[in-house]
Every structure is written in structure tokens, then in C-alpha cells.
Structure 1
């Protein structure tokens, strides 16, 4: 014989098994969310409700409202667990994003790539190339001269021979013969040598550049020289 208490109907053995089944089903629903974190809390909750409902239907337990209470409790727990798991997943995702941001901020900035140095200009190893190279040096130093003025004086003084030497005029008699393309003497070459060119008086570019520097100082420009200077 079963004893009863007013307002309460004791659960049968089958009822107890049913209630246990409901709680187990709710736990399984929460576990589903933990194993499949991409599922939303609503999806998990819905799955839990359906699972519990199926369990209740299978056991056919609807007496005295006790199983309904167990159902509500199990469903509520599943919903709470799903919500907690969602919040945990959001917190972990936010923390991971913050860690990535801090790591990126700590990365040293790469220095800007230096522009490639321009390739050195090439000149022909002939009268045309010597005059053009000398003109580039003269322009960089602000010394006036023109291609035509330089070439005209070279042709008069040496006919374009960088090894030409005058061994008969007064300079030669005094031991300082005129040398090179523009027939400049050693003391004048040294006094008007232009930085960036050779100190060798026989060097074509150095000879032209120093002679133009001298002519610019004495006549304003090599363009103004039309005879021995």
C-alpha cells in the first residue's frame, strides 16, 4: 500500500524513471552546445525542448503536474547552460581578438625601403663624351660654358688630341708647357682644378673642366674665348 499526502500524489517507479530521463535529456542538450560551439543559444534551447518533449511522450507521463515541473526545470537549466556557454564563447572570442591586436601592435614597423640609387651616367670615351661629362660637372658647380664654345676652342688648341703639348712658346721656354685638349699649363690647372675630376692634367675631362673654370674667371665663359688665352 502506498501512503499519500494531501495535495501530492506519489510518483510511481515509472514516473521517477521519466523524471530522470527528462533531466538526462536536458543535460544532453547542453552538451550539444558545448561540442558544437557555433550553434546559437536559441538553437540549443530548442533542441533541448524537443528532446525533453520526446522523452516525456515516450514515457507517457503527464500525471499530477509533477513531470511538467520537471520538464520546466530541465528546460530552464538547458536554456541557462546554453546562455552561459554563449557568453563564455563571446568572452573568449573577444579576449582572443584583443590578444591578436596587442600582438600586432607590438610588431616592429618595417623601415621604408630606400629608393634605389640612380645608375651612374655613362659617357663615350671620345671627344664628344669628354665634353658632355665636363659640362655636367661644370653645371653642377655653376660654371658657365657651352658644348659649341668648348669644342671650338679644343679644335683650335689641340685638334682634339688629349696628349697634345706645346714645346716651343714662351710657356715652354719657361719650363711649363701647355698640355692637353685646351692647352693649359700646370700652375693654372692646379689653381683652377674642379673638385670631382682627376688631378691628372692629361685626363681629358679634368683638362676641359679646369680650363673652362679659368676662362669663366678671366673672360666670363669659355664661349667668349676665340684665340690664345
Structure 2
């Protein structure tokens, strides 16, 4: 077929198509993040209000941010990404998660909460100003990060069960 008779896509059509593909890709990437945050926020008694007492969103993002604020005041190192990565590995964002099958559970002290902390560790590394409930998301994150800081230098240095 001669070149003059071939269909040629205009630059505007290519630009619109590229933007549509990029927008769809961004939406596909965002859905798991939104779903994980919403699912974790929908569990447990801490979801009664839309915000925490400190004014943070009452979801995974808000719990991490509130913990980071407390950690900054207390000099406990850690980053959002380090905390989030460990939460996803340990509990998939479920603040009511409990491990009833590992060696800790067999010894009578199951791991609990977002970062799967056992009661003796939670008590030893509890941070003043947070709840004494190991299932409380902010208290669990902050105590676990305090423990990780003492043992590994920071939660950011933890890449497996700790």
C-alpha cells in the first residue's frame, strides 16, 4: 500500500493515549495501597472515630504518622517506609493480628498487633504517653520501634522477623 494511503496517528492522539495509559497505571498502583489502608482501618475497636485523639487519621497511615511524631519527641529513630515495610510483613496492616502458632505462642506469649510484639517486649519498651494495650496501633508501633532501635539501631534496619 502506498505511504500516502496509510493511516497516520496524529501527535495529539498519541499524547492523549499516553496520558490515559499513565493515569490507568497510577490508579492500578494506588488501589492496593488504598485497599490495605482501608482494610486495616476497618478492624478493631480503634475505628470508632475518623481521627485519633491526637488528630491523625484513624488508619494505618495515621497510626504510623502519629507514632513517628512520638518517636521524634523521644529520640527514637525510624522512617515511615521502614515502619510500613515491617507492618506489611508482620501483620498486613491488621492491628488485631495475633500469632497463635510460632515458638512465642507455644511458650504462652503470642505476638500481637501491627508489628507482632510479645507482651514482655511491649512492657519493657513501652513509650510513655502511649496506651498500655499492645493492640493499640500507635502504642504497638512505638514500642516495637523503641525495641528495634535498642537492638538493631532502627526499625529501618529490620528486614525479617525480629
TM-score by length of 1: 0.47
* CA distance, structure 2, for counterparts of residue 177 and residue 215 of structure 1: 18
Task: Write out per-residue CA displacement over residues 158-213 of structure 1, whole angstroms, 9 at most, x where no aligned residue.
Answer: 00000000000000000000000000000000000000100011100000000000
| 1:166 alignment counterpart | 99
Which of these residues, 132, 157, 160, is aligned with residue 199 of structure 1? 132
Q: Which structure dedicates a bigger proportion of its chain to helix?
A: 1
| 2:114 alignment counterpart | 181
| 1:146 alignment counterpart | 79
Within-5 A mapping of 1:73-92:
none
* CA distance, structure 2, for counterparts of residue 133 and residue 121 of structure 1: 8
| 2:5 alignment counterpart | none
- C-alpha displacement of 1:122: 1.4
Question: How many pairs are equivalent?
Answer: 110
SS where residue 123 of structure 1 aligns?
Answer: coil
| 2:151 alignment counterpart | 218
Displaced runs of 4+ in structure 1, greater than 3 A?
none
| 1:136 alignment counterpart | 69
* CA distance, structure 2, for counterparts of residue 126 and residue 223 of structure 1: 21
What RMSD, in angstroms, separates the aligned Cα atoms of the two structures?
A: 0.9
* CA distance, structure 1, for counterparts of residue 81 and residue 158 of structure 2: 12
* CA distance, structure 2, for counterparts of residue 196 and residue 137 of structure 1: 8
Gaps of at least 5 residues in structure 2 are: 1-52
139 and 173 in structure 1: CA distance in 2 versus 1, 3 angstrom threshold: same
* CA distance, structure 1, for counterparts of residue 57 and residue 88 of structure 2: 18
